[in-house]
Amino acid sequence: MKKKLIIDADTGVDDAQAIMVALAAPDVEILGITCCHGNTPLENVLKNTLRVLKVCNRLDIPVYRGCSKPLLARKQHAGDYHGKDGLGDVPDPDAPGLELLQKKKAAQAMIKIVKQNPGEVTLVAMAPLTNLAVAVQLDPSFPEKLKALYIMGGNTDSRGNTTMCGEFNFVADPEAAFVVLDRYTCPTHIATWEFSCRNSLPWCFCDQWLGEKTEKAAFMKKISRLSMTKAQSADYKKEITEGGGFNSCDTYAMVAAIADKFITEDEEVAVTVELEGAYTRGMMVLDYMQQLDKKHKASIMKKVDMEKFKQMLVNSLK
């Protein structure tokens, strides 16, 4: 049986990489891609998602319009890293039009798809968690019908990439992250910011990976140029990533969801999100002292099979 996925994305460069990895996996069926504000405004996210599907000849996959702003927080984007359009500011004049979008909205689509496939769908969340928070508000039983939830977001060591202590996806909608970590009691796996930095891709691999003579590789090389240049800058390496290489954040959550034995070390702990701190709003909190009294614990990824990760990235551009 194929692994059934819903992908929730704010399609920037790493989302595109993650989606292409899933599309290339022979044992994966993508039931839908729901779009959310995040790396770039929602209209760009929708266009970018369709661009990725087009280059992979998979415009048959349904794409849904989701939330354009956070529940309560101020809207913010990551244009300095992903480009103002979210895909490296290299527009495609022949990009698919938004008339290809489904009529149903993202949260309603999630609920319907999972209701039709109870216990079979894995939700891979690579954006601010607004769509997921809305879905559980509309249907409180939605999380228990999921097979699993994989999240790229949050942090473990108070090391931020947007605020001093906050990772972008959680900071972009802290209330949504709080709701999801509180109410989604299905098996939950989290690829945090520091984890992805510590498992970053060597630059020599990136040169080889993007050097393939295929249409997909040419597309990926073009959209990745801006973010890779940014990631290689001295200030960025020092302040943000620990300087280890290229960090395709969302792809870690995706590969964990679809590749058996990819995660070689993890840790189970109850988690929540700080909503009120002057410096720590949006920071993920790990409850080692068990003061939250939560029965549900999330699995926090620690180490991965890097060779498997590289191979799946290579396969995605063939």
Q: Pull the structure tokens for residue 21.
A: 């990895």
What pLDDT sits at residue 243? 53
Q: What is the pLDDT of residues 22-51, one digit of tens each?
A: 999 999 999 999 999 999 999 999 999 999
Q: What is the distance between the alpha carbons of residues 302 and 252, in angstroms, rounded to a whole number?
A: 11
Catalytic residue ranges: 10
What pLDDT sits at residue 295? 94
Per-residue pLDDT band for 230 (boundaries 50, 70, 90) equals: confident
Q: Are 268 and 294 in contact (CB under 8 A)?
A: no
Q: Are 95 and 54 in contact (CB under 8 A)?
A: yes
**Mapping DSSP to helix (H, G, I), strand (E, B) and coil, where does residue 121 land?**
strand
Mean pLDDT for 245-273 is: 96
What pLDDT sits at residue 299? 98
Q: Which residues pair with 32 in a beta bridge?
A: 6
Q: What is the pLDDT of residues 147-156, one digit of tens each?
A: 999 999 999 9
Q: What's the mean per-residue pLDDT of the chain?
A: 95
Owner of token pair 């299905």 = 186
| Radius of gyration for the chain, computed over Cα atoms and rounded to the nearest angstrom | 18
Please state which CATH number belongs to domain 3-316.
Answer: 3.90.245.10
Q: What is the pLDDT of residues 168-214, one digit of tens each?
A: 999 999 999 999 999 999 999 999 999 999 999 999 999 999 999 99
Q: At what angle do helices 215-232 and 13-24 cross, to 10 degrees?
A: 140
Q: Are 38 and 77 in contact (CB under 8 A)?
A: yes
Owner of token pair 């972008």 = 168
What pLDDT sits at residue 236? 58
Q: What is the distance between the alpha carbons of residues 236 and 247, in angstroms, rounded to a whole number?
A: 12
Q: At what angle do helices 42-55 and 13-24 cross, to 10 degrees?
A: 40
Per-residue pLDDT band for 14 (boundaries 50, 70, 90) equals: very high
Least confident residue range of 4-13, 131-140, 154-163, 253-262: 154-163
Backbone angles phi, psi at 114, to 5 degrees: -70, -35
Angle at 289 between CA 283 and CA 292, to 5 degrees: 65
Q: Pull the structure tokens for residue 85.
A: 């359009």
